[in-house]
Amino acid sequence: MTVRDRRAVVWSVVVAAGSGERFGGDKQAADLAGQPVVVRSVRAAASVSDGVVVVVAANRRSAVVDLLAGLDGVEAVVDGGSTRSASVRCGLAAVPADAEVVLVHDGARPLATPDLFRRVVGAVCLGAEAVVPGIPVTDSLRSAEGRVIERDGVITVQTPQGFAAEVLRRAHADGGEASDDATLAEAAGATVVVVEGEPANLKVTRPIDLALAALEVVSSAERSTDA
Protein backbone atom coordinates (compact mmCIF):
# COMPACT_ATOMS: atom_id res chain seq x y z
CA MET A 1 0.00 0.00 0.00
CA THR A 2 1.43 3.38 -0.91
CA VAL A 3 1.25 6.60 1.04
CA ARG A 4 -1.45 7.83 -1.38
CA ASP A 5 -3.90 5.06 -0.48
CA ARG A 6 -4.37 5.97 3.16
CA ARG A 7 -3.28 8.53 5.72
CA ALA A 8 0.50 8.50 5.96
CA VAL A 9 2.38 8.13 9.23
CA VAL A 10 3.65 11.67 9.86
CA TRP A 11 6.26 12.71 12.42
CA SER A 12 7.68 16.15 13.11
CA VAL A 13 11.04 17.24 14.44
CA VAL A 14 10.91 20.69 16.05
CA VAL A 15 14.40 22.10 16.47
CA ALA A 16 14.73 24.44 19.42
CA ALA A 17 18.33 23.88 20.53
CA GLY A 18 19.91 27.10 19.27
CA SER A 19 21.48 29.66 21.56
CA GLY A 20 19.36 32.65 20.55
CA GLU A 21 22.43 34.85 20.22
CA ARG A 22 20.83 37.49 17.97
CA PHE A 23 17.73 37.53 20.14
CA GLY A 24 19.86 38.04 23.21
CA GLY A 25 18.34 35.26 25.31
CA ASP A 26 16.13 32.20 25.39
CA LYS A 27 13.70 33.02 22.57
CA GLN A 28 12.09 29.56 22.65
CA ALA A 29 10.74 30.21 26.15
CA ALA A 30 9.81 33.84 25.42
CA ASP A 31 6.15 34.67 25.93
CA LEU A 32 4.19 35.33 22.74
CA ALA A 33 0.71 36.62 23.61
CA GLY A 34 0.29 34.17 26.48
CA GLN A 35 2.13 31.13 25.14
CA PRO A 36 5.85 30.41 24.88
CA VAL A 37 7.25 30.56 21.34
CA VAL A 38 8.24 26.89 21.25
CA VAL A 39 4.85 25.77 22.57
CA ARG A 40 3.11 27.48 19.64
CA SER A 41 5.50 25.83 17.17
CA VAL A 42 5.03 22.39 18.72
CA ARG A 43 1.23 22.68 18.83
CA ALA A 44 1.04 23.51 15.14
CA ALA A 45 3.34 20.57 14.31
CA ALA A 46 1.29 18.25 16.52
CA SER A 47 -1.88 19.17 14.61
CA VAL A 48 -0.74 17.05 11.64
CA SER A 49 1.59 14.57 13.32
CA ASP A 50 1.44 11.12 14.85
CA GLY A 51 4.31 12.22 17.05
CA VAL A 52 6.56 15.21 17.64
CA VAL A 53 10.21 15.11 18.68
CA VAL A 54 11.39 18.34 20.27
CA VAL A 55 15.12 19.06 20.16
CA VAL A 56 16.42 21.28 22.94
CA ALA A 57 19.69 22.62 24.31
CA ALA A 58 20.90 20.27 27.05
CA ASN A 59 21.20 23.10 29.57
CA ARG A 60 17.57 24.19 29.02
CA ARG A 61 16.10 20.75 28.89
CA SER A 62 14.19 20.73 32.17
CA ALA A 63 12.77 24.21 31.54
CA VAL A 64 11.49 23.16 28.10
CA VAL A 65 10.08 19.89 29.45
CA ASP A 66 8.11 21.99 31.95
CA LEU A 67 6.84 24.28 29.17
CA LEU A 68 5.72 21.31 27.08
CA ALA A 69 4.04 19.45 29.94
CA GLY A 70 0.54 18.35 29.03
CA LEU A 71 0.86 19.05 25.30
CA ASP A 72 -0.63 16.31 23.14
CA GLY A 73 1.67 14.59 20.69
CA VAL A 74 5.09 15.26 22.19
CA GLU A 75 6.68 11.82 22.14
CA ALA A 76 10.31 12.72 22.90
CA VAL A 77 12.45 15.62 24.03
CA VAL A 78 16.08 15.11 23.01
CA ASP A 79 19.29 17.11 23.34
CA GLY A 80 20.49 18.97 20.26
CA GLY A 81 23.88 19.51 18.66
CA SER A 82 26.15 22.45 17.99
CA THR A 83 24.58 23.31 14.61
CA ARG A 84 21.03 23.28 13.30
CA SER A 85 21.78 20.33 11.01
CA ALA A 86 23.29 18.39 13.91
CA SER A 87 20.19 19.13 15.99
CA VAL A 88 17.94 17.84 13.20
CA ARG A 89 19.95 14.60 13.18
CA CYS A 90 19.51 14.28 16.97
CA GLY A 91 15.75 14.60 16.47
CA LEU A 92 15.62 12.31 13.46
CA ALA A 93 17.30 9.57 15.47
CA ALA A 94 14.24 9.54 17.74
CA VAL A 95 11.71 9.31 14.87
CA PRO A 96 10.39 5.74 14.62
CA ALA A 97 11.24 3.60 11.60
CA ASP A 98 7.60 3.43 10.50
CA ALA A 99 7.35 7.18 9.88
CA GLU A 100 6.62 7.81 6.20
CA VAL A 101 6.60 11.60 6.15
CA VAL A 102 8.93 13.63 8.35
CA LEU A 103 8.55 17.37 8.83
CA VAL A 104 11.27 19.61 10.20
CA HIS A 105 10.16 22.85 11.81
CA ASP A 106 12.03 25.65 13.55
CA GLY A 107 10.93 26.11 17.14
CA ALA A 108 11.54 29.79 16.39
CA ARG A 109 8.64 29.91 13.87
CA PRO A 110 5.64 30.07 16.19
CA LEU A 111 3.16 31.44 13.64
CA ALA A 112 3.19 28.67 11.03
CA THR A 113 -0.46 27.60 10.86
CA PRO A 114 -1.92 24.07 10.80
CA ASP A 115 -3.06 24.93 7.24
CA LEU A 116 0.55 25.40 6.17
CA PHE A 117 1.53 22.12 7.84
CA ARG A 118 -1.29 20.37 5.98
CA ARG A 119 -0.18 21.89 2.67
CA VAL A 120 3.36 20.60 3.18
CA VAL A 121 2.22 17.11 4.24
CA GLY A 122 -0.22 17.04 1.33
CA ALA A 123 2.52 17.73 -1.21
CA VAL A 124 4.69 14.93 0.19
CA CYS A 125 1.72 12.55 0.13
CA LEU A 126 1.18 13.45 -3.52
CA GLY A 127 4.69 12.21 -4.24
CA ALA A 128 7.11 15.08 -3.61
CA GLU A 129 10.46 14.00 -2.16
CA ALA A 130 11.10 17.31 -0.41
CA VAL A 131 8.77 20.28 0.13
CA VAL A 132 9.50 23.84 1.22
CA PRO A 133 7.13 26.74 1.81
CA GLY A 134 8.25 29.89 0.03
CA ILE A 135 7.11 33.51 -0.12
CA PRO A 136 8.05 36.29 -2.54
CA VAL A 137 10.87 38.61 -1.54
CA THR A 138 9.75 42.17 -0.76
CA ASP A 139 13.11 43.96 -0.61
CA SER A 140 15.22 44.76 -3.66
CA LEU A 141 18.18 42.43 -3.90
CA ARG A 142 21.90 42.77 -4.65
CA SER A 143 24.83 40.45 -4.26
CA ALA A 144 27.36 41.32 -1.55
CA GLU A 145 29.57 42.63 -4.38
CA GLY A 146 26.83 45.05 -5.39
CA ARG A 147 25.35 43.37 -8.47
CA VAL A 148 21.59 43.60 -8.90
CA ILE A 149 19.76 40.30 -8.38
CA GLU A 150 16.45 40.07 -10.21
CA ARG A 151 13.76 39.83 -7.51
CA ASP A 152 11.12 38.25 -9.71
CA GLY A 153 11.27 34.53 -9.34
CA VAL A 154 13.18 34.67 -6.03
CA ILE A 155 11.54 33.46 -2.83
CA THR A 156 12.54 33.14 0.78
CA VAL A 157 12.21 29.67 2.21
CA GLN A 158 10.47 28.82 5.48
CA THR A 159 9.73 25.82 7.66
CA PRO A 160 7.91 23.45 8.10
CA GLN A 161 9.76 21.52 5.40
CA GLY A 162 8.45 18.06 4.57
CA PHE A 163 10.17 14.94 3.29
CA ALA A 164 9.57 11.38 2.41
CA ALA A 165 11.21 9.85 5.49
CA GLU A 166 13.92 7.99 3.59
CA VAL A 167 14.82 11.15 1.66
CA LEU A 168 15.45 13.07 4.90
CA ARG A 169 17.40 10.18 6.41
CA ARG A 170 19.57 9.96 3.29
CA ALA A 171 20.04 13.75 3.28
CA HIS A 172 21.50 13.57 6.78
CA ALA A 173 23.41 10.30 6.41
CA ASP A 174 26.74 12.00 5.71
CA GLY A 175 26.52 14.55 8.51
CA GLY A 176 26.23 17.49 6.10
CA GLU A 177 25.69 21.10 7.11
CA ALA A 178 23.28 23.59 5.57
CA SER A 179 20.94 26.30 6.78
CA ASP A 180 17.95 24.10 5.96
CA ASP A 181 17.12 20.46 5.28
CA ALA A 182 15.88 20.84 1.71
CA THR A 183 19.38 22.00 0.73
CA LEU A 184 20.84 18.76 2.12
CA ALA A 185 18.10 16.71 0.48
CA GLU A 186 18.79 18.31 -2.88
CA ALA A 187 22.54 17.72 -2.47
CA ALA A 188 21.65 14.06 -1.87
CA GLY A 189 19.74 13.92 -5.16
CA ALA A 190 16.17 14.80 -4.20
CA THR A 191 13.92 17.20 -6.10
CA VAL A 192 12.52 20.06 -4.03
CA VAL A 193 8.94 21.25 -4.54
CA VAL A 194 7.83 24.72 -3.38
CA VAL A 195 4.39 25.30 -1.85
CA GLU A 196 2.93 28.65 -0.88
CA GLY A 197 4.34 29.83 2.43
CA GLU A 198 2.84 32.34 4.84
CA PRO A 199 4.02 35.96 5.07
CA ALA A 200 3.27 35.94 8.82
CA ASN A 201 5.40 32.85 9.37
CA LEU A 202 8.41 34.82 10.51
CA LYS A 203 11.39 33.37 12.32
CA VAL A 204 11.94 34.95 15.70
CA THR A 205 15.55 36.01 15.26
CA ARG A 206 15.82 39.44 16.88
CA PRO A 207 13.67 41.05 19.60
CA ILE A 208 11.70 43.03 17.00
CA ASP A 209 10.49 39.76 15.46
CA LEU A 210 8.81 38.81 18.74
CA ALA A 211 7.09 42.19 18.87
CA LEU A 212 5.87 41.75 15.28
CA ALA A 213 4.71 38.22 16.03
CA ALA A 214 2.69 39.49 19.01
CA LEU A 215 0.99 42.07 16.76
CA GLU A 216 0.19 39.35 14.26
CA VAL A 217 -1.39 37.11 16.93
CA VAL A 218 -3.63 39.99 18.03
CA SER A 219 -4.60 41.05 14.52
CA SER A 220 -5.29 37.51 13.33
CA ALA A 221 -7.53 36.98 16.39
CA GLU A 222 -9.38 40.20 15.42
CA ARG A 223 -9.70 39.02 11.82
CA SER A 224 -11.26 35.75 12.94
CA THR A 225 -13.77 37.49 15.26
CA ASP A 226 -14.75 39.81 12.40
CA ALA A 227 -15.28 36.92 10.04
Non-local CB neighbours of 33 within 8 Å, separated by 6+ positions: 214, 217, 218
Instruction: Name the strand (E) or helix (H) holding 75.
Output: strand 74-79
Asked whether 124 and 164 are in contact (CB, 8 A), the reply is: yes
Nearest Cα to 107, choosing from 198, 33, 44? 44
Q: How far is the CB of 224 from ligand CTP (least distance, A)?
A: 26
Q: CB nearest ligand CTP: which residue?
A: 18
Does the footprint of ligand CTP cover residue 62 (CB under 6 A)? no
Candidates 12-20, 115-123, 172-180, 194-202: pick the segment binding Mg ion (CB under 5 A).
Answer: 12-20
- Which 82-111 positions form the footprint of Mg ion (CB under 5 A)? none
Burial grade of 224 (CB within 10 A; 0-12, 13-18, 19 or more) = exposed
Q: How far is the CB of 220 from ligand CTP (least distance, A)?
A: 21
Q: Decide which of Mg ion, ligand CTP, none touches 62; Cβ closer than 5 to 8 Å per partner kind.
A: none
Binding mask 194-223 for ligand CTP (x = CB under 6 A): ---------x-x------------------
- Which 36-55 positions form the footprint of ligand CTP (CB under 6 A)? 55
Does the footprint of Mg ion cover residue 18 (CB under 5 A)? yes
Find the binder of ligand CTP among 5, 6, 21, 147 (CB under 6 A): 21
Find the binder of ligand CTP among 10, 13, 15, 64 (CB under 6 A): 15
Residues forming a β-bridge with 12: 52, 103
Residues 58, 61, 98, 109: is their CA dihedral positive or negative? negative
> Cα separation of 216 and 208, whole Å?
12
Candidates 14-22, 43-51, 118-126, 186-194: pick the segment binding Mg ion (CB under 5 A).
Answer: 14-22
Report the C-alpha dihedral over residues 36, 38, 42, 43, rounded to 10 degrees: 20
* Residue ranges in contact with ligand CTP by CB under 6 A: 15-23, 55, 80-84, 87, 106-108, 203, 205
* Residue ranges in contact with Mg ion by CB under 5 A: 18
